[in-house]
Structures are given as structure tokens and as C-alpha cells.
Chains A and B, each alone.
Chain A
Amino acid sequence: GIQVEQSPPDLILQEGANSTLRCNFSDSVNNLQWFHQNPWGQLINLFYIPSGTKQNGRLSATTVATERYSLLYISSSQTTDSGVYFCAALSNTGNQFYFGTGTSLTVIP
């Protein structure tokens, strides 16, 4: 299967600060997604981004498929951004998603 590594594992930000989360994957993918798990445990899809750049409000994501990494940018962070961010990858040859171990983000007021 694909190895998915995320960094940093933990991040503490002051409200209003910006951050970049990274996801490296070990093989070619045609499906890469970012998820946010809120403090109550709910997982919400943020981006479907196998390649290129997308933006949604204060969040944006970029995947460089040829170099096997994806970045999630959070600008002007808010306390509601706290939680764990996961990336998940699906290989070109399989039907299984592989998740990274996540980045735990805490935004303090």
C-alpha cells in the first residue's frame, strides 16, 4: 500500500496566524483528499485534490503529484480550526484509501 506521512504532528497557533500542513505519499495517486476531524470526532472532507490548487475561504490546498506531496494552507486561523487534519491517498492501482497519522492543530485565542 501507499505510505502517507504528515508533518508536523502537532501545531499550536495564535488566533490569526497562518500555517502550512504537509502530506507526502510514496506512490502515484489519482485521489488525494484532506479531512478535518473536529474535537467531537466528526470527519469532514475539506478538499478533493489529486493535483493542482484549490481554495475554499481561508483554506487552500496544493498537490504536486509528480513530486508526491500535498500542502494544506490555513490563513488567519480561528479557534474553530482546531482539531486534527488528515490526508488520505488512493493509489492508481487500488481501491483502498491510506490515511496519514494526522496533524493536531490547536488555535489559541
Chain B
Amino acid sequence: NAGVTQTPKFQVLKTGQSMTLQCAQDMNHEYMSWYRQDPGMGLRLIHYSVGAGITDQGEVPNGYNVSRSTTEDFPLRLLSAAPSQTSVYFCASSSTAGHSGRNIQYFGAGTRLSVL
């Protein structure tokens, strides 16, 4: 049981390049989400999904796209990377969606992204 797996662990991009951060979970969780962590700002929600085919914006969605074609996978796409997107990105999953019952979040190990 691998839990939440994120790839890659590290990435360096040039301004304007595109890339996809991968996130997969093997716990059959409905709810998945992406956060970015910047110094002194805690974790901020980028996008989330309450189930396959359903996504919604979080607190800081600009510059990012997501899709959820399967229960297991929730990739995060940067279409045109900017230096302001330099951050550590975390994917998380939990068994239920929203406020319906327990919603303990399990986090991946993170992706450290630098945009030059």
C-alpha cells in the first residue's frame, strides 16, 4: 500500500515551459487536492476534486489546471510556468468528500519546483 505518490520530487523549469505534476493514490479515496507551500504562508489549496470527473477551484487556482479521469489519479498542469509558481507542491487525498464524515487527509512527499 503506497498511499499517495507524487512525481517528480524535484523539477526545474524555465519561464514559459509547461509540465504536469503527477499524483496517484491507491486507497480508493474520493477526495483529492493540490496545495502549494510557500515560506511563512502555510499550505494554500490550488484545486480539489470530490470524485472522478469533478474538480473545483481552491484558494489560488490561477495558472494551474487539473482533471480527474480516474479515482486514482489527479494531475496538476502548469501550462506556462512563471517564477511566482516556484514552490513546494503537495497532493493529498482523503476517504470522503467535504464535510460528510471523517476526512483525514494523507499527503504525498511533495514536489519541489523552481521556475527560472
A positions within 8 Å CB-CB of B: 1, 4, 30-31, 33, 35, 41-45, 48, 86, 88, 90-102
Q: Given the known A-B contacts A41-B88, A100-B42, are A95 and B56 also in contact in the complex, defined by CB atoms under 8 Å?
A: yes
**19 A-B pairs (CB sep. < 8 Å):** A1-B59, A4-B42, A35-B107, A42-B107, A42-B109, A44-B107, A45-B106, A48-B102, A86-B43, A92-B99, A95-B56, A95-B99, A97-B45, A97-B105, A98-B59, A99-B35, A99-B43, A101-B41, A102-B42
Assembled-state Cα–Cα distance A95/B31 (Å): 9
Q: Contact size class for B?
A: 20 to 34
Q: In the complex, A96→B105 CA distance in Å?
A: 12
Contact of A95 among B41, B44, B88, B97 (CB under 8 A): B97
A-B pair count, CB < 8 Å, reads: 63
| Chain B proximity of A87: nearest CB distance (Å) | 9
